[in-house]
Structure formats: structure tokens, C-alpha cells
Chains A and B, each alone.
Chain A
Amino acid sequence: MELVFPKVLNHLLWIRFQGKLKRWFGGFQSPRRRLITLIGTVLGIIWVSQAVIGILFRKAAEHDSMVRLSAVALTLYVFWQVLKTVTRKPFEPHEWTDAEKEILLAAPISPHQLVSFRLTGLAVGTFVKALFVSIILLPDLPIWPIGFIGLFLGLVFIEFFRVCFELIFMGISPRLRWVCRGSAFVMLLGPIAIIWYRTLIVMNSAATQDLPMSILLFKSILVEMNAIVSSKIGVGVLSVMASFSEAIFTQAFSVAGLLNLLKITLITGASGALVYRLDQWSRLRAKQQESLAVRKGSLGSIGAFSHASASMARIRVPLRINGMGAVAWRQLVGAYHYRMTLSISLGIPAVLCWCPLFLDSNPEVTLVSVVGGLLFYSFLLLPSALVLDFRRDIDRFDVLKSLPVATIWLAIGQLATPVILATGFQAGVLFVATVFSSIIWSQAILAGVILVGFNLLIFTGENLIFLLSPYRRNQEGLDVFIRTVLTFTGKGIVFAVAVSALLFWATLSVLIVSSLGLSAGWAVALFCAGLLLMMGTVEALLLVGLVRLFDRFDPSEDCPALN
């Protein structure tokens, strides 16, 4: 009889865990990595301690609102998984790594056992996540062990649901996939549009004009979200995750509570069982689709680009410009291949940045709101969305280092594409905002110029951090935690210093101009000139750092191991 989980897979899970620990300790080998790991660990301990202290000393939130909010959060997490699946290419429901593909899939292990292995891996990862979340929610969980079990089951259910959905998505026809994509976007954008529309109506009403705009906006969004959640549709959508939420916040041992726990255990178990069935079904469907395509003769030659891509290939040899041109062109071709994902990543922040246009404000306030939104999204989102620089070339550092291109030009070439795309996005948002509002053109152009400098700073900084602590995309583990802590702290410090410097320089500009007896316009000019000079200096320093780091980078030693 076939074992559901053979010993060899059990052993593999264990040795992989050991390997991850070993790799983390390996991070302490070189002096540079040792220092970074040490700083990251210390900062991590500080952050975690702070969080623990915050948890222990905080008051418990109101029970009913926690039940409702957690149901909303879990449902949004489900939506996020759906959205991720419908936009991802290629479909990889089980997310096998290359090593797993070559070793495990070729080993005498049945597909059922492989699914068991993958589901166990997911459950183990989720166990750690649930443990962390349950500790953060410690004061809010009336019975911690039940709360933890509820959380664990809830998160495992979402993971199993994701795999099920991905398997279904892989098995259906391409036409149905497009229907799924469309439906997912309608389901996502519909409520957002309704909430925004109703929020803007509230915000434009005379009675609320005296509140600060950010507080008013946040408050109004919460009120409108609550209204939607309380509606019949909202209750229906939340009903599945509401059971998990009720289990998490169970107040006392009761028959009803135990029955609910049993219910969610069964739901989770059923979703796990469904994964096995769907895995079998999707493999069968893939075979059928392939043989159908072969019969129809609709398959093209292996790896042939689409017509649109082929036309890209007809572009003449890119301009060299000290090697920078070719390097930047190569990243632009990459951006072209990810144009859909990029459009979505940039489209949503663009819509959010335009929201202040619907408010009845004066041109300066509208411009500040739009630019503020752009700065916020550019600082938070764009660096992760536009990974078209050193960060995606971890496996090609050999090629980059052997090119006859001076490192400074190579670095500029690598940074050019994300900066160009970010600038294009910001210019587009500002252009639309200026056309459809009373924003003054000269001010919009000046803001655009300053934003270019801002983009340069952001992407150079991101790449500097990357070279200090290189990583692979989709990497997991302790070193990722340390890097995240470092990045988060570093960005926070940079943001605080930048805001302080701006305020200081703004005050100083006014003082200088007034002491000279000049008009207020000169203060603006002085402020902008100083700002650009400051940005230029910092950018130059960052660029020098980036160049030196790349020169010293040793791909044999500094590249992280494959996942």
C-alpha cells in the first residue's frame, strides 16, 4: 500500500530546515556580511522587543469589531491570492523549485505523495506565521490556544484554497481564464470604486470640511467599508471566513464553540482533500489540452516569440553611450515583456493619486495632495514593482562584470529603466491631474523635475541595499527577515532625515530671502535650487557607494545560494 507521506520526504523536510539554518550561519563568514547580519539581528531584536512590549501593555480591542475586522482581513487575503493567481505567468500551483523539479519529480514518488509533501511544507510555513500573528494578537485572544488553532486553520485554509484555485485556473481553457481575470478585477475594483465614490461625497460635504484631510479620508473609508461589510452581500461574502474569525476570538469553552472549531477543521480538511482531486484533474486536463492542440496543429515552434515581440527584435543595435545605452536597452526589453504586470502595478496607484482631483480644493492643495500621493507610492510601491536593475540580475553578475563598461556607466545603465518608468508614471499622473484640475502648469513641471531626482535617490538606494545584502526573489528565511528589518529601518531613518532637512531648508530659505528684502518668489526659487543641490549631492554619494560595492562584489562568494 502506498504511504501518504514516505519517509524520504519527511527526511527531506528536515534536512532542508537544517540547510536553511546552516546557510544563515554561513552569512556570518565574510566580515561585511557579518557586520550586516549583526546590525540586522540587533535591530530585529529591538523591533521584536518593542512589539512584544507594545502587545503586553496594550488594551484588548473590542471583541465584536475584532471578529468582524479579522473576517474582513482574511477575506481580503483570499482576494489577494485570487488576484495573484490570475495575473501570474506561468501558472505554478505547487511552486516547485528547479532542484525539486529535477530531483523530486523524477524520483519514484507518486503525484499523491508529492502533493502531501507540498501541503506539509505549506502547513509548516503557516504554523510559524500563525504563531507570530497569535502573539501579536495576544491581548485580543480570550483563549489563546483556541485562537491560535483558529488562526492556523484559517491561514492553512487560505493556502489550500490558493492551490485549489491555481489548479482550476491551470485546468480551464484560455478563454475561461480571461473570464476569470475579468471577474477578479471587477470584484476587486467594484468595491474600491463604490467606497471611493461614497467617501468623496462625504468628504465634499460642508459639515466635515474643518477636519484634517488625511484623518477625514481614513475615517470615511472605514465608515464606507463598514457599510459594505454590513450589507447582505458583504455578510454573504464574509460568511466562510467569519467562522474562522469566530473560532479565533472564542470567548469561552462551549458546545457551540467546539462545533465551530470542528466545522472549520472539516472545511480545512476538505480543502486539503480537494487539492489531491484537483491536482489529478488539472494534470489530466493539461494532457487533453495538449493533445487537442497537437491534433489541431495549433502549436508554434518551441520558444518562438509572439509577433509583437518579434517586431521588437527588429530594432537596430542599441546606442552604446559608453555601454550604458545597451545595458539600459536590455532592461527596457525586460520591461516590455512585463508590460501587463507593470500596467497593473502602476495603474492602481495612479488612480489613487488622482483621488484628490475629486475634492473641491484650491490648486496648491490639489497639487500637494497629488505629489504627496506620488511620493508616498514611489517610496513604498515602485521599488518593489520596478525591479528592472541589479536586483533581477543576481544570476548574471558574471556577464555584467565581464563587460568592457566602466562601473559608473554600468550602474547608470542599470538604474535608467526603473527611473525612466517611474518618471513616466509620475509625469503621466501629473499631466492628467493638471489637465483636469486648476493646477498651475509651471508648478506641476517643477514638481516633476524634483520627482526625477527623488526617483534617482530611491532606486540607487534600493540597489545599494541590495548589493550590501543580496537576495533572490521569492527567498524565505531568517536572512530575509534581517534584510527586511534593515531595509525598513534604513528607509524610515532616511525618510525622517529627509523630511527634517526639507523643513529646515524651507525655513532657512524664507529667512535668507526676508533678510535680503526680496520677494517671496525668491524663497521658492532658493528652496528649489537648494533642494536639487542636496538631492544631487546625496545621489552622487549613493552612486559612488554603489560603484564601489559592485567593483568589490565577488559573484563566487557574495551571491546567495539557489532556493
Chain B
Amino acid sequence: MIEINNFSKAYGSTLAVNDLTFAVPSGQILGLIGRNGAGKTTTMRALSGIIPSGAGEFMVDGFSLSDAPLELKRRTAYVADDPRLFSDLSVEQHLKFQASVYGIQKPADEIRKLLELFELESKRHSAASTLSRGMRQKLAICCAYLQAPTALLLDEPMTGLDPHAIRVLKDTIVNRAAQGCAVIISSHLLAMVEDICSQILILDCGERRFWGSNEEFKQRFAQSENNDSNTLEAAFFSSLTELGQDLASTIHGSTGSADRHSQNIDSITQQ
């Protein structure tokens, strides 16, 4: 289970995420949706311990990032939108490195299975630096799967993947969730999110705008606009009107909100 409580993060004088709270129970898949710069990647990077979190608490399976960072990291796998691989290592060496660092016992079979599943067998001894964008993405996903995480964080995981790999990835995400893994997927591919996510979280300008089930989201927004098409995409575009009004009032209308933002930046900076 993933829990994020009152997370805020500032970059200089810019508040990237403001007081974000949500949870993803084991077996659930959460779709993280929002515009570019909404704070999606920041949230995932902070949860995986990459960037120091300004304020707030992160928990995975009851282990807190501040109190038991290694236990949390051992259970968490993060696949970045543009994975940074070790250029000197081959595909197989990457997986061996991952197996060693995460203490995976006898990983040979699992490595073989993953390489076959993502069609990386022929690239087994190829240097990571020579892989195409899609193959690097596949390798990063293999590395994440190898560590058998209980919290899986995927940032734009479909980028560069071929149709076969997209299908494999979708199936495997669902399977992992069925086995008890809590998954967060950040993506702009709303059809894919609708397909596999059970929960939706809409972020805008670092603020949580909606958190609930896929159906709730569709009910609330698609019906409010009398939209005939009952898809997540239609609901999302309908929701933009409401979110846009909220945003406008945050920036221009209410000074109270602006004050709240600057107070938050100050409190994060102090921490």
C-alpha cells in the first residue's frame, strides 16, 4: 500500500506540489493525470526517494521514507519517463546489477523470462548506450519488474514502446496489481488509463483536483456536461472547464489562496 500525506515541494519560489494527500491500496492501480508541470513526476520522484521531499510523509507497506528509507526503496520500483541507464553495462549486466542491489536470490530464470517477454533476448549483450528509445524503456521496465516491488511507479511508461510491448506492459501491470502490488501510472494516454486504472487522481498546478474511482470521475464530469460519450477522455475534457475556473480563481481571484501558497513555500524552505 502506498500512502502520501500532506506532501509539498517547492523549487526556489515555485510551489511544485501543494499539500497532496492520497493512498493506493494493494492491488489497486492509480492513474495520475494532469497537464505538463502539474507535479506528477515530482510526486513520484519524491516517493521513490530521488528528490528530498519538502514536507509530508511517504509510506509503502507501512514503511516511512523518513524512518525506514531502505525498506521503502526495497519495495518500490520507479520507471522514469526517460530512463537513465548505465552506458557501460549491457542489458544482461543491468539486470544482474539490479538483482544484486535488491538482493534477488537466483535471478537467472526471472531474467530470462523478462528478456523473452519484452523481446530483449537478441539484445542481451548489447550496451545500453546503443539501445533505441523503446528498448531502453523496455529494459527499465524489466529492471523494475525484476525487483518484485510492492509499489510500482510508472512515469509515462508507454513512451517509445512498440504495440506488442504496450500490450505486454498493460497485461503485466494488471497481473502485478492482481498479485497485490500497488501501482501508480502517470500518463497522458487516457484510453490506457481508463483501461487499466481503478482510481484516478487529477493534479493541477501541484494541487489535488480529484481523487476517486474511475467511475466516480466519469459520473461527475461526463454527465455534468451532458456528454454522450461515456469515456474517461470525454470526462477529462469536460472537467477542464471546472478545473480551469478553479485555477483562474487561484491565480487571479482569491488573494487568500496566493497567501496560502507563499506560506507553504516558507514552511517547506524552513524544513
Structural contact, B93 and A313, CB atoms closer than 8 A: yes
Structural contact, B88 and A313, CB atoms closer than 8 A: no
Residue B237 CB within 8 A of the other chain: no
| Interface footprint category on B | 35 or more
Residues 70 to 129 of chain B near chain A (Cβ within 8 Å): 70-71, 73-74, 76, 78, 80, 84-86, 88-90, 92-93, 96-97, 99-103, 107, 122-127, 129
Structural contact, A326 and B86, CB atoms closer than 8 A: no
Using Cβ atoms and an 8 Å threshold, which residues of chain A touch B74? 404
Q: A305-B127, A323-B101 are in contact. Are A404 and B86 (CB under 8 A)?
A: no
Q: Taking beta carbons and an 8 Å cutoff, which residues of B are in contact with A?
A: 11-12, 42, 45, 48-52, 70-71, 73-74, 76, 78, 80, 84-86, 88-90, 92-93, 96-97, 99-103, 107, 122-127, 129-131
Using Cβ atoms and an 8 Å threshold, which residues of chain A touch B73? 402-404
Using Cβ atoms and an 8 Å threshold, which residues of chain A touch B51? 401, 554-556
Residue of B nearest to A402 (CB): B48
Number of A-B contacts (CB under 8 A): 103
Q: A552-B52, A556-B51 are in contact. Are A313 and B90 (CB under 8 A)?
A: yes
Residue of A nearest to B75 (CB): A404
Structural contact, B50 and A326, CB atoms closer than 8 A: no
Tell me the bound Cα distance from A330 to B98 in angstroms. Answer: 11
Residue A174 CB within 8 A of the other chain: no
Tell me the bound Cα distance from A256 to B48 in angstroms. Answer: 71
Using Cβ atoms and an 8 Å threshold, which residues of chain B touch A319? 100
CB distance from A243 to the nearest CB of B (A): 44
Structural contact, A557 and B11, CB atoms closer than 8 A: yes
- Determine which of A29, A403, A555 lies in contact with B101 in the assembled complex, contact meaning CB atoms within 8 Å: A403
Structural contact, A309 and B125, CB atoms closer than 8 A: yes
Using Cβ atoms and an 8 Å threshold, which residues of chain A touch B123? 303
Given A326-B97, A333-B93, A403-B73, output 16 extra A-B contacts at Cβ < 8 Å.
Answer: A29-B12, A301-B122, A301-B126, A305-B125, A305-B127, A313-B90, A313-B124, A317-B100, A329-B97, A330-B88, A333-B89, A398-B84, A399-B84, A404-B70, A404-B74, A556-B45
Q: A333-B93, A334-B88 are in contact. Are A402 and B101 (CB under 8 A)?
A: no
A-B contact pairs, 28 of them (CB 8 A): A301-B122, A301-B126, A302-B130, A303-B123, A304-B126, A310-B125, A313-B93, A313-B125, A316-B96, A318-B97, A318-B100, A319-B100, A326-B97, A329-B97, A330-B89, A330-B97, A396-B86, A397-B50, A399-B84, A401-B49, A402-B50, A402-B78, A404-B70, A404-B73, A405-B101, A406-B70, A557-B11, A557-B12
Using Cβ atoms and an 8 Å threshold, which residues of chain A touch B131? 303
Q: A29-B12, A399-B84 are in contact. Are A555 and B50 (CB under 8 A)?
A: yes
Structural contact, A320 and B101, CB atoms closer than 8 A: yes
Residue A430 CB within 8 A of the other chain: no
Residue A325 CB within 8 A of the other chain: yes
Q: A402-B78, A554-B52 are in contact. Are A303 and B127 (CB under 8 A)?
A: yes
Tell me the bound Cα distance from A325 to B101 in angstroms. Answer: 8
Q: A303-B130, A317-B107, A403-B73 are in contact. Are A326 and B100 (CB under 8 A)?
A: yes
Tell me the bound Cα distance from A510 to B141 in angstroms. Answer: 63
Residue of B nearest to A394 (CB): B84
- Determine which of A302, A313, A405 lies in contact with B92 in the assembled complex, contact meaning CB atoms within 8 Å: A313
Residue A327 CB within 8 A of the other chain: yes
Residues 514 to 563 of chain A near chain B (Cβ within 8 Å): 551-552, 554-557
Using Cβ atoms and an 8 Å threshold, which residues of chain A touch B107? 317
Residue A395 CB within 8 A of the other chain: yes
CB distance from A266 to the nearest CB of B (A): 43
Tell me the bound Cα distance from A30 to B269 in angstroms. Answer: 11
Residue A337 CB within 8 A of the other chain: yes
Residue of B nearest to A405 (CB): B101
Tell me the bound Cα distance from A301 to B124 in angstroms. Answer: 12
Residue of A nearest to B77 (CB): A402
CB distance from A416 to the nearest CB of B (A): 14
What mask results when residues 402 to 445 of chain A are scored 1 for a CB within 8 Å of chain B, else 0? 11111000000000000000000000000000000000000000
CB distance from B158 to the nearest CB of A (A): 20
Tell me the bound Cα distance from A320 to B78 in angstroms. Answer: 21
CB distance from B78 to the nearest CB of A (A): 6
CB distance from A482 to the nearest CB of B (A): 21
Tell me the bound Cα distance from A555 to B78 in angstroms. Answer: 15
Using Cβ atoms and an 8 Å threshold, which residues of chain B touch A316? 96
Using Cβ atoms and an 8 Å threshold, which residues of chain A touch B125? 304-305, 309-310, 313
Structural contact, A325 and B50, CB atoms closer than 8 A: no
Using Cβ atoms and an 8 Å threshold, which residues of chain B touch A30? 12
Tell me the bound Cα distance from A319 to B100 in angstroms. Answer: 6
Structural contact, A402 and B49, CB atoms closer than 8 A: yes
Using Cβ atoms and an 8 Å threshold, which residues of chain A touch B84? 395-396, 398-399
What mask results when residues 8 to 46 of chain A are scored 1 for a CB within 8 Å of chain B, else 0? 000000000000000000000110000000000000000
CB distance from B265 to the nearest CB of A (A): 14
